[in-house]
């Protein structure tokens, strides 16, 4: 989002929230084992598929009678037993990893006194790193923003950039190129800011704006070669509303698409994607680099026509030799025929599946509670509604794929409808998606007590080569390269 547009913040809910979610203060469990488990365990990992290299799945058991409960985990050939402490079940990391390594492809049974749940251990590893932005979930555009990197095989976390080192500047959209730790970018807004490019481990600060652009580049993605990136610039407007359950609407009053060449410091435009007849947003390259897929809506005067604004999925050819876009735009998913609006398309690494968000209308899915993930099979054209990922009255958005194509990470407000969390799910070779599970935390109560949101979780195969101090130095001392 653009910096400098402060709005009123939500009132405090800390005292009520903490009162209702204390780990050992829950109501006694319901009579049956199934009801017992679902009412007192948090997070609920039952029936999930998890990677064998995931961090320990620590969880809480609500209810004072479970303060010292015995928990037995059994697989085909291994077992692990721990005892809850104050209702918290926390597994030793080394023993946990030995257990999952031995049980690849098997089912684990978790027995808690008289209750039991099971999950599947996949032999498919997940990328070891995920980056995300930490932001207030309020009606303020930005405040005290951080971008962090988490090792999902453990609980180690580092701050890549934060408000303390950047004079409370806004920052957004940290994206890996093809999941590579040595290829990424994010936008650092405000004075002395720019797009921070990490390419082959070399850091640059770029001004991705020229005189014809009212704002700098916004949403983007890398070409597989790493030489190019595609962006849209978006004149983003947030607005409070008093209409049914939608209290916030974010829309673009103008937007166009461009390609940047990092070798020549040039920006390349096409008349097909840089005119006033349509809005363009959320571009991404196909894994073979031959097409740019993006979301496109016909022009409507906004905000009056925001409910009539629906984005289709389209594509345009791309020439890697010249960096130019093609001479025709092809429909991929027609918003008018489908009765919805598409956003945030992302390909599986092999190009077989295209996952995207579907909302009733508009372009900013995080504020639309009806937003859910969809997946198109590019071989058959069939679109799966991914009912297994659906959540009642909570958006699921901002997904990314692991480099082996077997896992997705996405942000969802499921559970409380307020705070975005990182969720993970397995995708098999035929596109079947398994029950999602929440990114595990060292303290299993973390997600009930942490009153900020995670968004734009992006999986990576290696750590990025910078941290908050590096970004502070770049912001202060490195001049931004101009693009023409």
139 plus 243 within the same structural domain: yes
Query: What is d(CA 306, CA 248) in angstroms, rounded to the nearest whole number?
Result: 12
Residue 14 included in any domain: no
Same domain, 108 and 166: no
| Residues 6 or more apart whose Cβ sits within 8 Å of residue 150 | 129, 130, 131, 132, 156, 157, 439
Residues 61 and 209 in one domain: no
One DSSP character per residue, 149-164 reads: EEETTSS-EEEEEEGG
What does the pLDDT read at residue 364?
82
For the beta carbon of residue 476, count every other beta carbon within 10 angstroms: 11
| 8: in domain | no
- Which parts of 47-201 fold into alpha helices (H)? 93-102
Query: Where in the sequence is the domain holding 377, given as residue range(s)?
Result: 129-482
Same domain as 333, residue 285: yes
Q: Report d(CA 220, CA 323) in Å as an integer.
A: 15
Single out the residue of 115, 83, 89, 99 nearest to residue 50, CA to CA: 99
In a domain, residue 359? The reply is: yes
Residue 16 forms part of a structural domain: no
Q: Is the same domain home to 215 and 191?
A: yes
- Examine the fold and report which residue of 73, 101, 122 is the final residue of a domain before the chain moves on: 122
Is 322 contained in some domain? Answer: yes
Number of domains in the chain: 2
Residue 44 located in a structural domain: yes
Backbone angles phi, psi at 472, to 5 degrees: -60, -45
The model's pTM: 0.90
pLDDT at res. 310: 96
Whether residue 15 lies inside any domain: the answer is no
Q: Verify that 239 and 296 share a domain, yes or no.
A: yes
**Is 467 domain-assigned?**
yes
The domain that contains 346 carries what CATH number? 2.120.10.30
306 and 285 in a single domain? The answer is yes
Pair (100, 153) in one structural domain = no
Do 195 and 117 fall into the same domain?
A: no
Give the Cβ contact number of residue 433 at 10 Å: 20
* Domain end point (choices 102, 122, 142): 122
Picking from 96, 122, 148, the residue at the C-terminal end of a domain is: 122
Give the Cα-Cα-Cα angle 14, 250, 367 (nearest 5 degrees): 45
Angle at the Cα of 437 from the Cα atoms of 177 and 122, rounded to 5 degrees: 75
- Let me know whether 156 and 101 are in one domain: no
- Asked if 386 contacts 431 with a C-beta cutoff of 8 angstroms, the reply is no
Q: Please report, in tens digits, the pLDDT of each residue of the chain (484 residues total).
A: 333 333 333 333 333 333 334 454 433 333 344 444 445 889 999 999 999 999 999 999 988 888 999 999 999 999 999 999 999 999 999 999 999 999 999 999 999 987 899 999 999 999 999 999 999 876 555 678 999 999 999 999 999 999 999 999 999 889 999 999 999 999 999 999 999 999 998 999 999 999 999 999 999 999 999 999 999 999 887 776 655 556 678 878 899 999 999 999 999 999 999 988 999 999 999 999 999 999 999 998 888 888 889 999 999 999 999 999 999 999 999 999 999 999 999 999 999 999 999 999 988 887 788 889 999 999 999 999 999 998 877 888 999 999 999 999 999 988 787 889 999 999 999 999 999 999 999 999 999 999 999 999 999 999 999 999 999 999 999 999 999 8
CA distance 349 to 386: 19
Residue pair 345/282 in contact (Cβ under 8 Å)? The answer is: yes
In this prediction, residue 28 carries a pLDDT of 34
Q: CA 145, CA 186: separation in Å to the nearest integer? A: 13
| CATH code for position 63 | 2.60.40
Shared-domain flag, residues 66 and 198: no
pLDDT at 176: 97
On whether the CB atoms of residues 121 and 95 are closer than 8 A, the answer is no
pLDDT value at position 393?
72
Whether residue 87 is found in the same domain as residue 169:
no
């Amino acid at each position: 989002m653009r910096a400098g547009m402060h709005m009123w913040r939500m009132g405090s809910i800390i005292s009520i929230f903490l009162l209702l979610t204390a780990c050992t203060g829950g109501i006694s469990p319901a009579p049956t084992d199934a009801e017992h488990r679902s009412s007192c365990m948090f997070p609920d990992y039952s029936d999930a598929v998890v990677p064998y290299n995931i961090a320990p799945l620590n969880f809480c058991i609500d209810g004072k009678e479970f303060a010292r409960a015995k928990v037995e985990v059994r697989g085909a050939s291994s077992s692990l037993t721990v005892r809850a402490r104050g209702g918290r079940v926390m597994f030793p990391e080394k023993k946990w990893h030995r257990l999952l390594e031995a049980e690849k492809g098997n089912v684990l049974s978790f027995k808690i006194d008289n209750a039991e749940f099971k999950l599947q251990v996949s032999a498919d590893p997940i990328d070891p790193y995920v980056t995300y932005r930490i932001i207030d979930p309020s009606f303020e555009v930005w405040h005290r923003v951080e971008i962090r990197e988490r090792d999902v095989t453990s609980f180690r976390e580092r701050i890549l950039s934060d408000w303390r080192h950047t004079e409370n500047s806004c920052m957004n959209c940290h994206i890996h190129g093809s999941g590579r730790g040595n290829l990424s970018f994010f936008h650092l807004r405000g004075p002395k800011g720019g797009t921070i490019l990490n390419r082959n481990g070399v850091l640059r600060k770029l001004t991705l704006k020229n005189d014809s652009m009212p704002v700098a580049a916004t949403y983007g993605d890398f070409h597989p070669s790493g030489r190019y990136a595609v962006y849209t610039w978006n004149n983003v407007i947030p607005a409070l509303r008093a209409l049914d359950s939608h209290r916030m609407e974010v829309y673009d009053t103008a937007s166009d698409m461009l390609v940047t060449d990092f070798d020549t410091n040039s920006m390349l435009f096409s008349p097909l994607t840089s005119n006033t007849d349509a809005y363009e947003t959320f571009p991404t390259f196909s894994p073979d680099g031959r097409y740019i897929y993006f979301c496109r809506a016909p022009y409507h005067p906004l905000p009056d026509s925001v409910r009539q604004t629906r984005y289709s999925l389209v594509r345009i050819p791309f020439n890697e030799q010249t960096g130019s876009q093609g001479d025709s735009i092809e429909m991929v998913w027609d918003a008018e025929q489908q009765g919805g609006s598409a956003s945030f398309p992302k390909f599986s690494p092999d190009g077989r599946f295209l996952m995207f968000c579907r909302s009733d209308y508009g372009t900013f899915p995080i504020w639309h509670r009806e937003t859910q993930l969809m997946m198109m099979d590019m071989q058959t054209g069939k679109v799966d509604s991914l009912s297994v990922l659906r959540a009642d009255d909570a958006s699921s958005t901002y997904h990314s794929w692991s480099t082996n194509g077997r896992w997705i990470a996405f942000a969802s407000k499921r559970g409380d409808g307020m705070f975005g969390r990182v969720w993970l799910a397995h995708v098999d070779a035929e596109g079947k998606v398994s029950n999602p599970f929440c990114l595990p935390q060292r303290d299993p109560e973390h997600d009930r007590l942490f009153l900020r949101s995670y968004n734009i979780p992006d999986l990576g195969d290696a750590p990025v080569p910078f941290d908050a101090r590096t970004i502070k130095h770049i912001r202060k001392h490195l001049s931004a390269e101009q693009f023409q």
